[in-house]
């Protein structure tokens, strides 16, 4: 990476200066950032400001000494200029040749260009989707799935050792409700009139599960007491739904390395071992929840059961989470001695942390209030709060012709993910889910996603890749060989548009590394859209000005073809990070002249 060269030169200079006694050895890192205004150079370095206090010198005075040391360290001539700005920043300008050589690197590394080692092999478990196994995935789950897959993909490209994990909530009340819904349909299939309760699951898939049970067991459980059929119906229903979920995920090319079962946490004794661990560490005690707070001037509200059915009046086993930054202590066992959902959840995180160096959870935005207690649990269990990062996913509104779409016969509630993928395709589904930050609401326009025009963001980027492929097809037809890197030829790439594209290609590895460390795959989608817009602008400008990619000057033609070759590789790699294809041909009326006048 070009930025790496700047870091290398400054580290070498600072080490040499420390050896010479000009300043103390640096015990803090410095930043190397691209300035907002390109007029200030290629990068701004704050090394003098970081080291000034230790050195006992004003930052600008120290900056001048560092500049001299960096110039001495640059034996390869990679720097074009160093300037001191503001309170002590050092603005760096790199030689044009250094930028040009990044084109050669992009082509040489090919499908690996953009991969870095910033993760240093650190083991990370990324848990995402984890939708309850009570029905097919809806579009909200789909956004979680695609963002989570984008996060884990970025971490892999950044050199982390990643495991993809799905946590199956197959133990609590919701899967029992599913089992009862199936039993009602099972009765219905035997000719009985049934009424589905308001909180039951009404989707068509419930009838399919019931039909399978009828075919296997006949009328055996028609009048049997619930205790005889509830577990069987629950397990059968969960496995059926998990099969549907796997198919839904496969439709967007998502799979997992591990499916962790909540039920297995209990059956394996993990939850019991975890509770004993909490007791041994004095992290739990028996007590009551604090009473609900009253609003000013109003009487105290009546204590109501929480989502787990516990109230402030009961004696509970409470986890000392308030000692670690949570608002209150949280119940891990109910008054009857059964563990709470929170207990199983932190037991699962306890188990994960023993298998990995860091954890990433991708959760719906409605779980935002749950994050502090998870962080408190991590710290209480001897890990760091920083060992857990939570990515929150906001709601998706599915739109068609300006109208909101809500109902689905298959799911019985919201529109299923599979219905959307079947209509608009895998690539459009994945890319559009990443065109907004995950913590911002998203309007998914079905009609736009289906368009084979440049208005469709994924089509726009893929069209750019196809246009580059067409340029090479045209070049072969004109007798031009696939160009290799030639520095002298590359020096003819002097237009502002060409220089901009070169810098974008050079920035790609840094972009991926930064997006990975921020857990933000949408940055890649933004980069691809902005970069392909810059390419289309350059391409169009060249046609208008007579400076076409394939022109009369063989040196310029070779240089531009090599630029296109590097750019095509970057687009393909960026799309690969997002799990989107990079086609060489696009079938659309808008793209029939894709390679004309190149």
Eight-class DSSP state of 565: H
pLDDT more than 90, % of the chain: 79
Residue 556 has pLDDT above 80, yes or no: yes
- Region of poorest pLDDT, from 3-7, 418-422, 478-482, 525-529: 478-482
- DSSP helix/strand/coil, 320: coil
The confidence band for 597, taking pLDDT boundaries of 50, 70 and 90, is very low
pLDDT classification of 24: cutoffs 50, 70, 90: confident
The number of residues in the chain equals 598
Beta strands in 394-452 (DSSP E): 396-400, 403-404, 442-445
pLDDT value at residue 297: 61
Q: Where in the chain is the domain with CATH 3.30.1360.70?
A: 2-94
Q: Is the pLDDT of residue 429 over 60?
A: yes
Model pLDDT, residue 39: 85
Residues 149-159 have a mean pLDDT of: 98
Q: What is the DSSP code (8-state) at residue 322?
A: G
- Per-residue pLDDT at 305: 56
Residue 222: pLDDT band with limits 50, 70, 90: very high
How far apart CA 175 and CA 156 sit, in angstroms, is 34
Burial annotation 471-503 (CB, 10 A radius, 16+ → b, else e): bbebbeeeeeeebebeeebbebbeeebbebbbb
288/330 Cα distance (integer angstroms): 10
What three-state secondary structure class fits 161? strand
DSSP string, 357-404: SEEEEEEEGGGGGGHHHHHHHHHHTTS-GGGEEEEEE--EEEEETTEE
Residue with the bigger pLDDT between 370 and 436: it is 436
- pTM score, whole prediction: 0.91
pLDDT for 172: 86
CATH class, domain 457-578, is: mainly alpha
Each residue of 238-248: pLDDT tens digit? 999 999 999 99
No. of helices (H) and no. of strands (E), the chain: 20, 15
Residue 401 has which token pair? 């012709």
Structure-token pair, residue 217: 């067991």
- In CATH, 2-94 is 3.30.1360.70: yes
């Amino acid at each position: 990476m070009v930025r790496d060269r700047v870091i290398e030169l400054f580290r070498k200079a600072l080490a040499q200066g420390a050896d010479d006694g000009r300043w103390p050895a640096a015990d803090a890192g410095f930043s190397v950032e691209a300035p907002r205004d390109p007029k200030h150079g290629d990068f701004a370095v704050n090394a003098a400001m970081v080291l000034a206090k230790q050195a006992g010198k004003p930052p600008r005075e120290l900056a001048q000494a560092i500049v001299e040391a960096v110039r001495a360290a640059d034996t390869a001539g990679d720097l074009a200029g160093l300037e001191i700005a503001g309170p002590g920043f050092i603005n760096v300008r790199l030689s044009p040749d250094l930028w040009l050589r990044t084109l050669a690197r992009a082509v040489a590394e090919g499908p690996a260009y953009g991969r870095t080692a910033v993760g240093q092999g650190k083991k990370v478990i990324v848990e995402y989707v984890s939708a309850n196994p009570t029905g097919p995935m809806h579009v909200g789950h789909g956004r979680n799935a695609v963002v989570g897959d984008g996060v884990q993909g970025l971490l892999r490209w950044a050199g982390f050792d990643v495991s993809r994990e799905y946590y199956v909530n197959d133990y609590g009340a919701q899967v029992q409700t599913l089992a009862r819904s199936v039993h009602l349909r099972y009765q219905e299939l035997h000719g009985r009139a049934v009424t589905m309760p308001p909180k039951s699951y009404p989707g068509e898939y419930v009838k399919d599960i019931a039909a399978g049970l009828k075919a296997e067991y006949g009328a055996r459980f028609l009048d049997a007491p619930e205790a005889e059929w509830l577990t069987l119906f629950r397990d059968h229903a969960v496995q059926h739904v998990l099969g549907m979920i796997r198919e839904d995920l496969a439709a967007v090319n998502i799979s997992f390395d591990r499916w962790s079962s909540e039920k297995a946490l209990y059956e394996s004794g993990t939850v019991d071992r975890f509770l004993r661990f909490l007791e041994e560490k004095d992290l739990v005690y028996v007590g009551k929840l604090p009473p609900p707070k009253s609003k000013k001037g109003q009487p105290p509200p009546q204590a109501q059961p929480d989502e787990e059915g516990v109230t402030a009046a009961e004696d509970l086993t409470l986890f000392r989470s308030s000692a670690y930054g949570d608002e209150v202590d949280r119940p891990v066992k109910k008054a009857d001695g059964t563990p709470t959902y929170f207990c199983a959840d932190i037991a699962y995180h306890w188990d994960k942390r023993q298998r990995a160096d860091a954890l990433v959870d991708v959760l719906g935005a409605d779980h935002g209030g749950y994050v502090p207690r998870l962080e408190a649990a991590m710290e209480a269990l001897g890990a760091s709060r920083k060992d857990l990062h939570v990515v929150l996913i906001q709601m998706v509104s599915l739109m068609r012709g300006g109208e909101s779409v809500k109902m689905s016969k298959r799911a019985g509630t919201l529109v299923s993910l599979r219905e959307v993928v079947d209509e608009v395709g895998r690539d459009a589904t994945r890319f559009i889910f990443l065109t907004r930050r995950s913590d911002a609401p998203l309007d998914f326009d079905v009609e736009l996603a289906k368009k084979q025009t440049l208005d469709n963001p994924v089509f726009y980027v893929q069209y750019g890749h196809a246009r580059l492929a067409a340029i090479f097809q045209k070049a072969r037809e004109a007798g031009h060989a696939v160009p290799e890197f030639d520095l002298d030829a590359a020096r003819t790439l002097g237009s502002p548009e060409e220089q901009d594209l070169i810098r974008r290609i050079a920035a790609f590895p840094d972009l991926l590394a930064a997006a990975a460390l921020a857990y933000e795959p949408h940055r890649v989608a933004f980069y691809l859209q902005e970069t392909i817009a810059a390419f289309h602008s350059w391409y169009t400008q060249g046609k208008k000005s007579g400076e076409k990619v394939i022109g009369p000057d063989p040196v310029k033609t070779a240089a531009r073809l090599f630029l296109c070759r590097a750019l095509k590789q970057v687009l393909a790699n960026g799309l690969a990070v997002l799990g989107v294809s990079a086609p060489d041909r696009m079938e659309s009326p808008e793209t029939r002249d894709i390679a004309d006048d190149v």
